[in-house]
Structure 1
Amino acid sequence: MDSSRNRAPAPEEAGRATPLTGRTEDLGSAVEALQGSTHVAVLLLGDSGIGKSTLLDAVVAELESTVTPVRIHGSSSLTNVPYGVLGPFIVGLPVQEATSQLAVLRTFWSGLEEERRASQKPLLLIVDDAHDLDEATAGILVELAAAGWAKLLVASATRPGLPEPLLQLWFEGIAERIDLRPLTQGQTADILERALGAQVLPNVTEILWEASEGNPLLLSGLIDDAKNDGTLLQRNGVWLLARPLNSHGDRLTDVVRRQLLRRSPQERQALNLVALAEPVSRELIEATVGEDPVAVLIEHEMIRVTPAPYPQLRLWHSIYGDTLRNLISPARSLQLRQSLLRLMDSEPTSAEGLLRQVSWSMECGAEVDDRQLLRAAVLASRLYEDELARKAAALVKDPELQVAARSVTARTYFNTSDYAAARDILEADFAKGLSVAVLLTGTLMWAAVQAALGHSPADIMDRAGALLEAGERLARENPEDGEEILSATRERFATMRAMVFALAGEYPESAGPEAGVLDGPPANPLEAAFRLALESERLLVQGKAVQAFARVSEALESAGSGHDELYFLAEFLVARATAAVIHGGDWEAAETLLAGVAAGPGPNRISFGGGVHAAHGIILLYQGKAAQALNALGAALESLRLADPQQLFAVTSSMAFAAAADVGAKDKAAVFLADYKAAPPAVSRYLRILSQMAVTYGKARLGNYPGGIDELRALGRPHGDGSTPGLEFDSLAFCLALGDRDAASRLLELQPELEGPRAAAICDYAAAISTDLPADHLDAGKSCEDAELWGFAALAYDAAANGYRAAGDTLRERMAMSQRKRCLDRADSVSGQEQEAETDALGLLTRRERDIVALAVRGLSDRQIAAELHVSIRTVEGHLYRSYAKLNVKGRDQLPGVSPP
């Protein structure tokens, strides 16, 4: 029998097609408890959509051959009807006895016993949505379980929770309670791989995991809706997000609509108000709908409260917001807005509150002040809500503010790499304006757009002279403010000059590399930051990777935050810092920098995520992990095709070409080479030359390119002298990887000029080549291993094995070959490695990372780990993120068991 055979599918069942993921331990615990003699029931509790029904079905499937399953399903419409859900089992019971517990129990048991006798297997009563059971039915079920006549498998929402009789079983210790936790990021990645069946960009997993908050039902809805509206799309075998998630698609709308049907009219009104105005004062909502509906929604985790002293309300699941707002008609929205505004005595205090209020006003056609519109447009563009930013900017009517509004619109096009559209907007206003504020508006973005379009710094600054001329004109027209106007325009001109030369990584003729700075002291922190970034690149070209990183770190501190025009400033500086640490081979510092970008808001990761993936791919290539690098770089290219604010496509395609050549993938190599040739060159001089080196290396690796070595050497010495040891090191490292042993002597000459573990390890290998002693090659192999340069380590161990073979030392030859194989295995990431390989991998972690991984393996949450080690949750998340990358795992469930050192 099945009391649910005629019911409509529950919302959770929408995700049942997805295989059980992340619940293996819960499944085992439930099965073990039901098969044992200690427990009479298993209680599965969790939020709506967390996967209770899916796990319930999995448990039943495991036990199906040994039990007689009988399903009962709670119903919200029958919660107040005694024994209502038992109707199909007690149809023969006379009406006058329908309220008698003894009569119901006797009739119900009679039907169950008939089924048990037919199957000759113990009874298992399966109760879904048990939170909707009436107390009388719950009492009957408990009687059966306590008497040993049947066992119970119960699924219930955490709130409002189980009826008291069922909960009492747990209090008495005869029921196993399993609280289902949200999916981890690694489990989300597994679901995406199963659902999409192809390579998924890591930032897609991160964004979907955060948006769904680990809820499988919401995740399933987000995936379906994103695929249907083209937000989630596949390009060249890679799944990526083309824009921020739209959270009001059909699947999510259906989920939210079902949730609303369970709420009272007052609760629905409270939910709508919070969705339209969040974050909104709790006092304000309670004054509108009353305290009780708000309290119920908080208890049922539909809305949450921010801490005192000014409690504000937000939706518990943020992705419900767009869906709820989309379900409200404009007329109803306007009515709700007016009811709330009557009680408000001030504007929202937070930027987010302002953005929500302005957006709400525009949605229902209400008038908004121009300055509020402009503030909202700026904020929306900073959050990459481009459509909202353009809409707000377009409504600005004040001519004095329209220039700033158009600048914001240009920025939204810059967000998506549509530089031509941004240029057309900015060119119309450049060097115009009746006030110095208007004159300077958008000028930095104008210069950045010109650089992105490939104009040289000299050309840009020549055209920027119009700004100085406009400033002089404005000063003549306003003599009382003339000095201030001239000072402001000259300062902006100097900042623009520093910026475009920093973007290009080139010094102006008036301040050559030996000067180390541009002309005169910097006029403001922004100009100082760009000068430091340029100095960092000069040091990088000279091989001073550690000093280069220090300079750009100073730039990050000097720049500060809040630069509305140059929203990409922090990412620009992080990219320069990452180039320095990758050149030097400080992989841990690189991962820390990249994790910082990856921890940004979802839309930020869509715009800058391609650069993060590209950096990971270049690290893998330098480490000798060509196959992994090929996948990472290929995926990064697909992301960069959509948005490339750092202009990294050329260097990424060149490195992808080199990786494809390394693994002999000629067809892929040809595609990447075509991509490189079609792309505008990288803005940075260092990256332009590095790209050319990677292409030359790839051509030589593929064969039939006899001049490759000479070309690489020439690229490392662009001035024909030894003034660029950093570039020369990169070129000689490529030569050495191609088997050019003659490069070793020049590398040793450069060694005193070079910094960083990568240069030190490769120079150790060069020194071993110069002596050609097997013992030196062994030492060099260990040095390269310590630097995680598995390709060079394998070359060194191979040379050692050849030396020992020539000397007839078979034992040491085998040892060297074994070490070579280990390095090749690490480079190729062979699956199913032995425990020794896992131990080696754990040796890559820092002490703090080992401590955190050990606690994670024990099952502690991020918050618990933070409390245990007295660090912040963000620190725990960052260390785990880096540990996953180092151990080549996707999440906690794949971590090897360890204990703290």
Structure 2
Amino acid sequence: MSHGVIPTQFVARDREKERASAAVVSGRGAAIVGPTGVGKTALLTAIADRLDPTRYAVIRMVATEAGRELPFGVFGAMFDGDGRPDRLLPELVRRAGTRTPVLVVDDAHHLDNWSATKALTLASHPGVRLLVTARLDAAMPDAVVALWKDGYLRRLDLSAFDVGGTAELAGGMVGGEVAMPTVQLLHQWTGGNPLYLTELIRFAESTGRLVQRDGLWWWRGPLAVPPRLVELFDRRLREVPDGQTDALDAVALGEPLSLTALESMASDGVEALDDKGMLHTTDLNGEIVVRLEQPLFAALLRSRLPRLRRRRLAAHLLAVTDPAAVDLVTRARWQLDAGGPVDTRLLIHAADASYQDDPELAQRLARRAMENSDAAAVPLANALVELGDPAGARQMLEQARDAAGTQGGRLRVSLALAAHRCWVDRDPAGAHQDLTSLRAVTRARAGRAALDGLDALVLLFGRHTTHALRRAEQVLTGSPESVPARLALGAALALTGQTTAARATLAQLGTQQRSQVAYATGAAAAVLGFIDQWRDHDAPIPHSAPGSGQLPVGMRTAGRPLFDWPLLAGHQRWLSGDRAGAIARLREAVVQQSGGQRLFHTEARCWLAICLAEYGEPDAAAQVLGTGRPDRVAVIPGLTFRAAAAIAVARGQREAALTAIEDATRDAREAGCLAIEAEYLAYTMELTRHRAPSHVTNRLATVTRGIDAARLVAVAEAALSLHRGDAAELIDHATRLDALDLPWRAWQLVDPAAPSAPDGPRAAALVSRLRRRIAAPAAAPAELTAREIEVASLAGSGLTDREISRRLNISVRTVQSHLSRIYHKIGVHSRRDLPFGR
């Protein structure tokens, strides 16, 4: 990774550079206005450097606050010491010679009134150009404002980057693609300020906080403040009187902190700090809460808090804050900071709630709780797994089991060991055997309910959906409070096609704050999100924290930023036909699901492989699918075979594809997953069209009647219409799929049906709309993948294999492989015979 070859602060400012350059060439110049740190100077330099030196002579000056005390201070060096400002224009002309002089003034808000007036006079001269920067929030002479107010210079307002600009800057600096969760984290920390971003990324590079995994750059570890920004913040801190530092430190330690609590701790100076722009207040549920304006500033203050002051402030926060108004993780952290007696149960629950998103904190909480209770061994082991030490986690659990003083304590740790075997060791069958052995020696009703509830989840992740459903129903009959059983039942109902019942079952977990299984509410959010994508094309994507991202957020923590969960964000884009977008998000999901408990690793890997194959990258898809040993943990049965079928289709191996999808369908049917079976049968119909065997069409019709998810039913019914081959019916189904935001599925129907459709104008309009949505060229055969269509279009337009490889950033050999499959699929022999192009 190297930032030396990529511009820094003016990355993602191409539009501004073009506008400012045009203002110099065709007008009087430009004024770049914005707050501190948005890259005004960097952009000014970039614009000046790109001017043609044979036409323009650039004369640079920097106004300073000290120079403001001297008349014509910034221009003093131009007067040869005689103090005559009327010589400025002749001197500029003399230096420029035959070229046009361009006067560049950085920080024009520091100009004295005389210099500002002179600059305004120069701006009116047709033979001179001006480029200036000014800070938006600074007091400045009226003549500086008149530069753009009176129309002499074109004003360009620079603001902080949005998430897209942050991604562009970060990617440019590291020389590669930055994972979206990391982009969002960088944006949240910096507010999109280019100076902060640049320094933070450089610092992360030098300290190893940015790491590359599977071609994406990820932030790893806690936030730390770069040295250059420390100097910047220190200058601001020197402006804060001693009496106001307690208020700053209290907010840094407790944010978001209620204004009432803050004023009880540090009544002096709160308004002054707000006036200086150091605090940010918002109304939260009818109460004013306070944060520091800049997260990096808050992180610096927390890192510098002396131990005794930290203890004093944390103890005061605990004393003045209503426990019901503060999330349990924050309150537990305050207890650690206060250094006094702790609520062991609170620390255990907080460690259980935070081990995925902040395993370092969870480990601290659990180790402190271990001093009083062996029950903390379970969340401590979970934290160790997330920190990459599964062997240490197992050893911790085994020691805790052997040392347990009660039968209940021993059972609790034994259940954690079974869960470890299922999700960490990837052995659900072995975990089920362990639980079966435990059942034989467990007599207490509550213990059996806990055991059987976990077993229902183990069966679910072992792809024994029907058994999981029955086990969960049995548990809930006697123990309706069992969270694992309710989670297993909801997921199993969804997979069997009973999505309404599944939603009702899982919705009861949405507000639970202290669950028996740490990931229960997050996993429920994941399954609910998946269900909703089957039911509604406008379904919201569940949120996740930018840390591990293995699960959506099931328990809200104050102040934690939330973003779209990559796994379902990718799945949603796949359904809507945006394969390129789906691939980007699913690549992130695969990385997130490759560490810790890896709950949905199989789903992330298979969905990515399917998207890559359908995008025309079967070799990359096969590499994703074939990485490592076969994974025995999955919720969706047959998904590996479904991905293999997509790869075979992309390679033109239709018989292999049919064999693979037949295996996938069998797995789904044996597991009792009607919804999944319907998806696989519909895919079989798309591969075979009017040649589908009768047992496939009959089974799909039967299965569809047992499913209540609108989008899935629409896909199944559209697939059945393929078998009948009626053009009008196909157009009707394609219109329905398009309305449900399933354009690629609609295209599979409409493209072959349109030529014979009885309502030609309607069919033509639908073809045109779908072609725009999925970027398909005219007359593209439906069996081609998205990437094959792209390659065929470029080849048909006359580009060579090497030109296509450069355009699409793939190898020449990959281009040739694509073309070979394209020729085979559409029955032509060379690029001259391709029926479409651009």
Corresponding residue for residue 204 of structure 2: 226
SS in 2 for 1:753: coil
Matching of residues 756-767 of structure 1 within 5 Å: 756-767=709-720
Corresponding residue for residue 786 of structure 2: 828
Corresponding residue for residue 480 of structure 1: none
Corresponding residue for residue 61 of structure 2: 72
Distance 1:619 1:284 in 2: 43
Deviation at 1:821, TM superposition (A): 5.9
Find out whether 1:517 has 2:496 as its counterpart.
no
SS in 1 for 2:705: helix
Q: What residue identity is the alignment partner of 2:360? A: E
Deviation at 1:254, TM superposition (A): 1.0
1:450/1:460 contact within 8 Å kept? no
Residue among 186, 191, 202 paired with 1:208? 186
Corresponding residue for residue 531 of structure 1: 486
Deviation at 1:318, TM superposition (A): 0.4
Matching of residues 241-640 of structure 1 within 5 Å: 241=219, 243-248=220-225, 252-261=226-235, 263-264=237-238, 266=240, 270=245, 273=249, 277-279=253-255, 297-305=273-281, 314-326=291-303, 328=304, 333-334=306-307, 336-337=309-310, 346=319, 367-371=339-343, 374=347, 378=351, 381=354, 384-396=357-369, 398-400=371-373, 403-415=374-386, 419-430=390-401, 433=404, 446=417, 448-452=419-423, 453=425, 454-456=427-429, 458-465=432-439, 468=442, 489=447, 492-493=450-451, 495-501=453-459, 503-504=461-462, 506=464, 517-519=473-475, 521=477, 523-527=479-483, 530-531=485-486, 533-541=488-496, 544=497, 547-548=498-499, 550-552=501-503, 554-563=505-514, 566-582=517-533, 584=534, 586-589=536-539, 592=540, 594=541, 596-597=542-543, 600-603=544-547, 605=549, 612-621=565-574, 629-630=582-583, 632-640=585-593
1:370/1:397 contact within 8 Å kept? no
TM-score, with structure 2 as normaliser = 0.74
Residue among 643, 650, 654 paired with 1:694? 643
Find out whether 1:668 has 2:620 as its counterpart.
yes
Deviation at 1:572, TM superposition (A): 1.0
1:50/1:180 contact within 8 Å kept? yes
Q: What residue identity is the alignment partner of 2:499? A: A
Q: What residue identity is the alignment partner of 1:235? A: R
CA shift digits 1:406-439 (9 cap, x unpaired): 3332222344575554333234334965579967
Find out whether 1:110 has 2:59 as its counterpart.
no
CA shift digits 1:135-164 (9 cap, x unpaired): 665566567668999776442334444356
- 1:283–1:52 distance in 2 versus 1, CA, 3 Å: farther
Corresponding residue for residue 840 of structure 1: none
2:179/2:218 contact within 8 Å kept? yes
- 1:561–1:447 distance in 2 versus 1, CA, 3 Å: farther
Q: What residue identity is the alignment partner of 2:514? A: H
C-alpha RMSD of the superposition: 5.1
Give the gaps of 5 or more residues in structure 2: 554-562, 777-784, 791-838
1:276/1:356 contact within 8 Å kept? no
Find out whether 1:49 has 2:56 as its counterpart.
no
- Count of paired positions: 756
Deviation at 1:185, TM superposition (A): 1.4
Distance 1:385 1:437 in 2: 28
Q: What residue identity is the alignment partner of 2:15? A: T
- 1:399–1:259 distance in 2 versus 1, CA, 3 Å: closer
Deviation at 1:48, TM superposition (A): 2.0
- 1:203–1:518 distance in 2 versus 1, CA, 3 Å: same
Distance 2:472 2:307 in 1: 60
Distance 1:266 1:625 in 2: 51
SS in 2 for 1:246: coil
Distance 2:606 2:378 in 1: 34
Deviation at 1:74, TM superposition (A): 3.1
- 1:727–1:662 distance in 2 versus 1, CA, 3 Å: same
2:509/2:524 contact within 8 Å kept? no
2:668/2:674 contact within 8 Å kept? no
Range moving further from structure 2, 183-192 or 618-627? 618-627
- 1:378–1:760 distance in 2 versus 1, CA, 3 Å: closer
Distance 1:627 1:15 in 2: 25
Residue among 680, 687, 692 paired with 1:742? 692
Corresponding residue for residue 828 of structure 2: none
SS in 2 for 1:587: coil
Distance 1:380 1:230 in 2: 28
- 1:464–1:667 distance in 2 versus 1, CA, 3 Å: same
TM-score, with structure 1 as normaliser = 0.69
Matching of residues 126-145 of structure 1 within 5 Å: 126-133=104-111, 138=116, 141=119
2:20/2:30 contact within 8 Å kept? no
Distance 2:331 2:709 in 1: 51
Q: What residue identity is the alignment partner of 1:201? A: A
Deviation at 1:169, TM superposition (A): 6.7
Distance 1:818 1:789 in 2: 15
Give the gaps of 5 or more residues in structure 1: 1-12, 94-103, 470-485, 832-901
Q: What residue identity is the alignment partner of 2:77? A: P
2:499/2:531 contact within 8 Å kept? yes
| Paired-residue identity, % | 20
Q: What residue identity is the alignment partner of 2:278? A: M
Deviation at 1:73, TM superposition (A): 1.7
Corresponding residue for residue 19 of structure 2: 28
Distance 2:684 2:438 in 1: 42
Distance 2:713 2:335 in 1: 61
Q: What residue identity is the alignment partner of 2:786? A: D
Deviation at 1:28, TM superposition (A): 3.0
Deviation at 1:213, TM superposition (A): 1.0
1:377/1:390 contact within 8 Å kept? no
Matching of residues 761-800 of structure 1 within 5 Å: 761-800=714-753
SS in 1 for 2:508: helix
2:32/2:40 contact within 8 Å kept? yes
1:45/1:158 contact within 8 Å kept? yes
Distance 1:356 1:281 in 2: 14
2:103/2:131 contact within 8 Å kept? yes
2:648/2:654 contact within 8 Å kept? yes
Distance 1:671 1:185 in 2: 31
Q: What residue identity is the alignment partner of 1:369? A: P
Distance 1:128 1:660 in 2: 49
Q: What residue identity is the alignment partner of 1:551? A: A
Deviation at 1:115, TM superposition (A): 1.5
CA shift digits 1:538-569 (9 cap, x unpaired): 3533xx3xx41552354133452323663322
- 1:499–1:660 distance in 2 versus 1, CA, 3 Å: closer
